Amino acid sequence: MFKKKAGVASDNQVVLVMTLPAVLLMIVFVAVPLVMGVQISLTNWNGYSQDFTYNGLANYKKLFSDPMFLRAFRNTIIYGFGSTLFQTILGVLYALLLQRAFALRGLARTIIYLPAMIAQLLVGYVWYFMVQYNRGALNDIVMMLGGTKLDWLGVGDRAVIIIMIINTLNFCGKAMIIYIAGLNSIPDMYYEAASVDGANGWQQFWGITMPQLIPAITTSTLLNLIGGLKMFGLVISTTGGGPGYSTHSLSSLINSLYFSYQDAGYASAVGVFTFVFIMAVSIVIRWYLAKKEAAAQ
Amino acid sequence: MRKRNIRRALVKNLLSLLIIAIHISPFYVQLIMALKTRRDFSSRWVPPASPTLDNFTLALKGGELMQSILNTAIIVLIATSLIIVIGAMSGYPLARYGTKFSKTLSLLLLGVMMVPPLSVLVPLYRELVMIKGINTFWGIIILSITYGLPTSIFMYTNFIHTIPVALDEAALLDGCSKYTIFFRIIMPSLKPVTASVAILTGINIWNDYSFQLYILQKPKLRTITLMLKTFFTEGNTNLNAAAAASCLAILPLIVIYLFLSKYFVQGVVDSAVK
């Protein structure tokens, strides 16, 4: 960038010196554990004893015949992709409703975004009072409407959907903010020109708004997806992975394999898998959305 | 035309009211629970006839909850300050010098942002045992810094891109070194983005559960999330006190949010990966 002068530090030297603290931290606390994780995943270590033996790829072979892992993998996909889908829909709808000024706009934006900055674990506890079987607030409404009480979190498949919905409601505010910023960046004259050409609201939405929002969609999709696939606290506070192991995410499964089953080797194998999976998904989604973005320009 | 606008505004307000009601209901229910006695068996939607603060007193009894809030505050303050300093330092060369090395580094940092904490926690725990970082504040602080840094570096890099390079060049001609440029030119102009970085990374650490669960296992060192877990674990039948504790844990965030909501919103937009 700058012309070389005698006695002036080279670009690479500046990069190295200024980023050194960050790089050291990343090596010691990200790279080393990743490598150690791979190493542990090749053993039968129980997490505390001194001796263990290497058992090759046994832990990885076990993954795909282990109903617990397969269930957690399936759930993680529902938590990640399900929440992302609904967060995108809700986020766009909320953004459209709340972009222009009216009396309740500020309050609505504040309330919708508020839970996004509360710990996932706490959000789960907040919802606990809603979805409890006995005296839960939702069952009060169900009974008032003449229905029979529902055991919201008592059945695995239903609980997975409920957790996904809680996650959606909780984080759709983040998507909303990104979409409002996206909407604000669309020049008014596009709509004016379309109106002159006689395009109705619906046509304007699909012809102008959506294509212009694609960069915002890329951003928010990646954010929501990575967040959803990493889900941990919410599962712990709502169901703890139960009933049985039916609502575990990959993250909460790792935790219980390590703490409850004391199977650190296998837990590490699930960890390595989770890491590789999330990386691969992010790269593919980024590549796909970048292509869309380029096509929309 | 005017009539249509009024009707439109009415529909928007009514719709917003419904959305607000849905989003706020779990928090409302929790607050109502916190204000009722254990023997009050009325519906959780109905406010108590005579609100009680006993649950709050009970939740605060023994000072453990306050201790946990204090612990969390210490961790957040130290970690966030260092995240800001190290983040700004790293953001400068990454934004200014497009060498191969800096490009690779930027890419790797984006990768680190995606690492799910749980996928590395087993080896990370083992590593911290070896360096005696378990059950210490410095252990959790150093992990909080490491995993908060990519966001911070990313935001600083993006922001420094928007500072005109002409300023650097002028300073270089005046005899500044590339290092003093950072202190004289870049650092003074980082204020707006620093607010966003501080809030975003600070809140993340405040809300962390995974790292804290593994590193801080002594009751005395518990953070808010770990403390709340003990209120809600099986066997604890006093849900009203748990609700009060949960309200108290959320309160500081709500206060901060209401005062600084501008920066929260800006932070989300700034940190968005493009």
The residue with tokens 């409890």 is A132
Q: Say whether pLDDT at A3 is over 70.
A: no
Domains of chain B: 2-52 (no CATH), 56-271 (1.10.3720.10)
pLDDT score for B177 = 84
The single-letter code of the amino acid at A118 is I
CA gap A255, B60 in Å, rounded: 29
Terminal-to-terminal C-alpha distance of chain B: 40
R_g (Cα) of chain A, nearest Å: 24
Distances (CA, A) of A15 to B105, B148, B158, B164: 10, 20, 16, 19
pLDDT score for B140 = 95
pLDDT of B179-215, one tens digit each?
888 888 888 889 888 988 998 899 999 999 999 998 9
Cis peptide before A243 (omega within 30 of 0): yes
B224 to A119: CB separation less than 8 angstroms, yes or no:
yes
Q: What is the ipTM of this complex?
A: 0.88
Regions of chain B short of the pLDDT cut 50 = 274
Question: Which of B10, B12, B23 is the mutation pick for testing A, counting most A CBs within 10 A?
Answer: B23
CA gap A33, B259 in Å, rounded: 39
Facing residue for B111 by CB, picked from A111, A177, A279: A279
**CB proximity list for A270: less than 8 A, separation 6 or greater:** A63, A69, A72, A250, A253, A254, A257, B119
Question: Which of A39, A129, A217, A282 is the mutation pick for testing B, counting most B CBs within 10 A?
Answer: A129
A251 to B246: CB separation less than 8 angstroms, yes or no:
no
* CA proximity to A14, closest of B195, B138, B172: B172
**Cβ-based contacts of A17 with chain B (< 8 Å):** 179
B97, B160 in Cβ contact below 8 A? Answer: no
CA gap A84, A222 in Å, rounded: 9
Q: Determine the 3-state secondary structure of A249 from DSSP.
A: coil
CA gap B96, A15 in Å, rounded: 9
pLDDT score for A251 = 93
Q: What share of chain A is helix, strand, coil (3-state, %, to 5)?
A: 75, 0, 25
Which H or E run contains A79? none
**Residue A11 falls in which region: left (phi positive, over 0), alpha (psi -120 to 50) or beta:** alpha
In angstroms, the separation between the Cα of residue B99 and the nearest Cα of chain A is 7
Q: What percent of chain B is predicted at pLDDT more than 70? A: 97
pLDDT of A195-243, one tens digit each?
888 888 888 888 888 888 888 888 888 888 988 999 999 999 998 887 8
Q: Determine the 3-state secondary structure of A44 from DSSP.
A: coil
Domains of chain A: 71-296 (1.10.3720.10)
